[in-house]
Amino acid sequence: MHDIGVTWHECPEPNCSFKAKAESNLKKHRAHVHGIGITWHACTELGCEYKTKEEGHLKQHRAAVHDIDVLWWFCDFEGCEHRARTNSDITKHKTNKHNIGVQWKQCPHCDFKAKTNGKITVHKASKHDVGVQWKQCPHCDYKAKMNSDITKH
């Protein structure tokens, strides 16, 4: 909390006041800010010109752009062929598409139900005027409950 006994690693570059507690953070700073000691990691896929200073970013790029070394998760709902890069995305998919694991939220003012609290909040504001935060058009006296309505206006 009080930095007692901390060894600071200061950037030796002229006019730079950066300092870090970890030497590895100073090394990253010097590479990213001053271009010193950079090791570039380039994508080796044909026609791809992506390069990065962080090896982990290259792995993310190869998975996201080229589907290389991706660990796929699959929906186990019968007949569904959906796949995702994370188990949490599969859980969201099953909730949104197949209603598996849904904990329905109930509007306290009517029979409306939704899968998320956010949708209940929007419903209450639009249908029951509960918790409305009016949005004002910056060009005239028009007001609306939703930013999207101001944009359309």
**Which pLDDT score, from 0 to 100, does residue 4 have?**
79
Residue corresponding to tokens 């186990």? 76
**Which pLDDT score, from 0 to 100, does residue 5 have?**
81
- Spell out the residues 6+ positions from residue 116 whose beta carbon is closer than 8 angstroms to its own: 105
Q: Hey, which residues does 84 pair with through a beta bridge?
A: 73
pLDDT in tens, the chain (153 residues): 577 788 999 999 999 999 999 999 999 899 889 988 888 899 999 999 999 988 899 999 999 899 999 889 999 999 999 999 889 999 999 999 999 989 999 999 999 999 999 999 989 988 998 988 889 999 999 998 888 898 999
104 and 112 Cβ atoms separated by less than 8 Å = no
Closest-CA residue to 68 (of 50, 93, 90)? 50
Nearest-10 Cα torsion for 143, 146, 148, 152:
-30
